[in-house]
Structure 1
Amino acid sequence: MTKDIERISGVLRFARYFRTWPQEDILELASLCEWVRFEADTMMIRADEPAEALYLIVNGHVELSYKDGEGKNGVIDLLGDGQLVGECALAPDGHYAVSLKTLEATTAIRIDGLLFSKFLSAHFDRALTMMSVMTERLCQMLRQTEELKCRSAAQRLGIYLLADAVPIDDVHETPLTIEKSALARKLGMTSETFSRALKKLSELGVTQHSNGRIIRISDAEMLADWCGLSDSERKEGQENAFQAVI
């Protein structure tokens, strides 16, 4: 058990939710957690079920979804390493508002909701930190909703590719770590629309390599201009600056 706590605390202290916490608080939180692993296409959380735990994604990708009034599924977001989900578990007698399904084999840290809530009640500064990070995440989701309305499919895809682009020689390359169909749902489009968007970007020097797993951008600045990104969005200096607007 001691080894598990040390291993979990080692992961928690690098997560953005907890990176400013003192070590003794991280160790205490780790004692409320356990390692869990889910196979691909597994429901981790179901909407309307009692919210009993939060999950910190350690390795893998998950899909956050909902059902509308007609029973149709809609994708809210795709989440990966370092993301926290299931915050409803912090509310007394809370129920999950959305569903969560793995897109691939996924490892996570399960945090007991009731025990974590009691922990935060006894550690006011830690509670404020959690509120700040969760508010930031909500603002990002609101910006994403705005972008879905204001930018074309090709522009949204271009911004996503710029977010993870790595400079290599005279170009930028972006690895696609999730299936294109899942990425299409994240960006609010069908697979057919995704293909058309990628074809449109090819006119701007965006090409596919390694069977479509690597996307190469010949001129990142030109693509950023075409996608309508402002100078402040490009140069604000934060991690994943482009990602903040999708």
Structure 2
Amino acid sequence: MNHFQHRLADPNEAAVRLVPAHNSREGLCGTLSKAFRPGLLSAAAALELAQLGQFQKIPAKTLFIRADEPASALWLLVNGTVGVGCHDEQQQWRQTRTIHAGHWIDAESAWLGGNYLESARAETAVSAYWLPVREVEQAFVTRPEIARSLLAAVAERVRRVSGDAHDLLAKSVLARCAGWLIDELQTSDQSSAVVMNQHKRAIASQLGTSPETFSRMLRQLCDMKVIDMDRYRIHVRDAQALQRLSNGALAHGAKT
């Protein structure tokens, strides 16, 4: 790990490299509201959270949260795309999920009193918001809705992990690929197009398959006239067919 990565992994050195939160407070309040379930967090509570933490600008392909570092903060993605996962014994990156702007990168590790549960890597240049867990705990006293909102966010994360585990066991690679496309569409700036800004290896790892099989599933979706591909851009031609495929069981599609 180089010196730059080490500094990024250690939030205690915030004064040298972080931008005060009030510089973009209005936009951050909107991002914080989006990160929680609708109606749980008031505007006043969002403003209080926007004053507790600090922004961090992170270059693309930088590992900025490490699973072997003490977890002392909650991390929210403001702009860009982040991959979450870990490195295996051969130092190969194994991605478990993709985070898009407006979603939590890690809202759970800091409550356990140990290290971060997974590492996080900037897939594009990103802007993240760093919330020290001690200050957040203090805010619970005057703003209990913050605690309820964070509890709901962690519960939603547990629900998603359970669903992902079920999909890996019960669904074919084709179904998982279709489900991934649906998830990406929901965060895309365009209603019917997805731009792959990550390596296929990282996406395939997230789906529990190989890059070759992932590419083959995309070609199969093209042959079925469900999608069109133009290099890194995927255009969805038939969203209903994509939804039906995402619900498919193992017997109805290609195996891993």
Same fold (TM over 0.5): yes
The corresponding residue for 1:44 is: 64
Structure 1 gap ranges (5+): 167-171, 231-246
1:118 CA drift (Å): 2.1
Please give the secondary structure, in 1, of the residue aligned with 2:35. Answer: coil
Deviations 1:40-62 (A, max 9, x none): 11111111211122111011111
Matches within 5 A, 1:66-77: 66-67=86-87, 73-77=93-97
Tell me: CA distance 1:127–1:210, structure 2 relative to 1, closer, same or farther (3 Å): same
The corresponding residue for 1:202 is: 222
Matches within 5 A, 1:150-161: 150-161=170-181
The corresponding residue for 2:144 is: 124
RMSD: 2.8
Q: Which has the higher helix share?
A: 2
- TM (normalized to structure 2)? 0.75
Distance 1:47 1:120 in 2: 27
**Alignment match of 2:241 (pick from 215, 219, 222):** 222
- Whether the 8 Å CA contact 1:90–1:114 is kept in 2: the answer is no
1:194 CA drift (Å): 0.8
Please give the secondary structure, in 1, of the residue aligned with 2:61. Answer: coil
1:121 CA drift (Å): 4.6
1:173 aligns with 2:173: no
The corresponding residue for 1:63 is: 83
1:206 CA drift (Å): 2.9
Identical aligned residues as a percent: 25
The corresponding residue for 1:237 is: none
Tell me: CA distance 1:94–1:215, structure 2 relative to 1, closer, same or farther (3 Å): same
Aligned length, in residue pairs: 224
1:146 aligns with 2:163: no
Please give the secondary structure, in 2, of the residue aligned with 1:104. Answer: coil
1:96 CA drift (Å): 0.9
Structure 2 gap ranges (5+): 1-19, 250-256
- Whether the 8 Å CA contact 1:64–1:100 is kept in 2: the answer is yes
Tell me: CA distance 1:180–1:24, structure 2 relative to 1, closer, same or farther (3 Å): same
Deviates more, 1:149-158 or 1:31-40: 149-158
Please give the secondary structure, in 2, of the residue aligned with 1:13. Answer: helix
- Whether the 8 Å CA contact 1:175–1:213 is kept in 2: the answer is yes
- Whether the 8 Å CA contact 2:49–2:136 is kept in 1: the answer is yes
1:84 CA drift (Å): 1.0
- Whether the 8 Å CA contact 1:121–1:127 is kept in 2: the answer is no
Tell me: CA distance 1:47–1:212, structure 2 relative to 1, closer, same or farther (3 Å): closer
1:103 aligns with 2:126: no
- TM (normalized to structure 1)? 0.78
Distance 1:31 1:126 in 2: 13
Tell me: CA distance 1:193–1:121, structure 2 relative to 1, closer, same or farther (3 Å): farther
Distance 1:138 1:21 in 2: 20
